[in-house]
Structure 1
Amino acid sequence: MKWRSRQNNLIFSGLRYQPDEDTEIKIRDFINKELGIYNTLSFGNVHRFGKKDRNGIRPIVARFTSRRDLEYVLKCAYRLKGTDYGMKEQCLKEIELKRKELYPILKQAKKDNNKAVLVRNHLYINGELYKPQPNISNTQGREFRDSLIDRPTHSQIPVNSGPPVPPRPYKRSRINSDEIENTDL
């Protein structure tokens, strides 16, 4: 539901703030001058939002009444390359984080002359969905940590070094059912 309410929104960044500005007119002028689109586009709502960026400028979000208009504007986004302006679709925070993880892989795939496209939170390389490698499972992580906790014998410690500092044990160690049976309650 949240995605549906944002699917026709574009975020424009880098547009300087002027007192008493009409953001809709500002976006229309930007689209005309910077993107070279002179068609009549219809907007539902256009306003500034969020925190100021490093230059003290807040981005502008524009709701397009037609998805076709939004896609037409997005196709011309390549004309902003090398400028201080930016444009992107408005997404949920989870999707933004996923895209942030996939972006370096997208750049590398394009560098390797592969056709790569990032669609919402999915990366397609040469027409196939890219599936990232799963992280180390929880049990593997525990086994690795347990191997670090095992203290070396005196013969393994160098003579000229200070005393070894053992790693911290688990904050909450689990008790096996066998240990519960052996304790006197």
Structure 2
Amino acid sequence: MIDLQCRSMRDNLLFFGLAEPDGNRKENCVSIVDEFCEDYLGIRNIGQDIERPHRIGRRRSGEFRPVVVKFSSFTIREKVRWNASRLGGTRFGIQEQFPRQIQEQRKQLYPILKDARKRGERATLVVNKLYIDGVEYRGLETLDTCIRGTKDGDEGATHMEG
């Protein structure tokens, strides 16, 4: 079931920090995302590749709800996602959309990812799996193995080529 949900969200990205009109005024999310991508990501005319954009969540005073955008293809989605690095230091953010269960797993792994990067290790979060220096993290014993540098022969870790 989770795999099916992931596949249905494959072409989606979440956009954070995009201004929202007050009250119940209608907004054109396609033009909002199109303008944002041109102004902040340097990608022109992305609106023609947007199939279905809409806000998610409940309105809260002083906060902007995220916009979920379904792109016409995975290739277009990746073009936008890779350019999201230009948003550093702004109030905006872009991330992949995942089912709630995977979001919770990622939330648990994120602090470990940050710590590994602080130690100078190469850490990557791929869907709901964390890789540290090419080894899949599976708990503290894996982390300890990665820190000691004895990855080879470890039964509890899976190596990732990359």
Q: TM-score, normalised by structure 1?
A: 0.67
1:21 aligned residue (12, 16, 27): 27
CA distance 1:95–1:116, shift in 2 (3 Å) = same
Instruction: Write out aligned runs for 1:34-73 (5 A).
Output: 34-38=40-44, 40=46, 42-52=49-59, 55-73=62-80
Report the TM-score, using the length of structure 2 for normalisation.
0.76
Structure 2, unaligned runs of 5 or more? 142-162
Q: Name the counterpart of 1:95.
A: 102
Tell me the SS of whatever aligns to 2:131: strand
Offset of 1:37 from its aligned partner?
1.6
Change (3 A) 1:133 1:112: closer
Q: Secondary structure at the residue paired with 2:14?
A: strand
Q: Over aligned residue pairs, what C-alpha RMSD do you find?
A: 1.7
Conserved in 2, the CA contact under 8 Å of 1:52 and 1:59? no
Deviation at 1:54, TM superposition (A): 6.6
1:147-166 counterparts in 2 under 5 A? none
Higher Cα radius of gyration: 1
The structure-2 alpha-carbon separation of the partners of 1:74 and 1:94, relative to structure 1 and needing over 3 Å to count, comes to same
- 2:132 counterpart of 1:125: yes
| Equivalenced residues, count | 134
**% same residue:** 38
1:74 equivalenced with 2:81 (yes/no): yes
* Contiguous gaps of at least 5 residues in structure 1: 135-185
Whole-Å separation in 1 of the counterparts to 2:91 and 2:101: 26
Structure 2 counterpart of 1:10, one-letter code: L
* Counterpart Cα distance in 2 of 1:11 and 1:43: 13
Structure 2: distance between partners of 1:119 and 1:51: 29
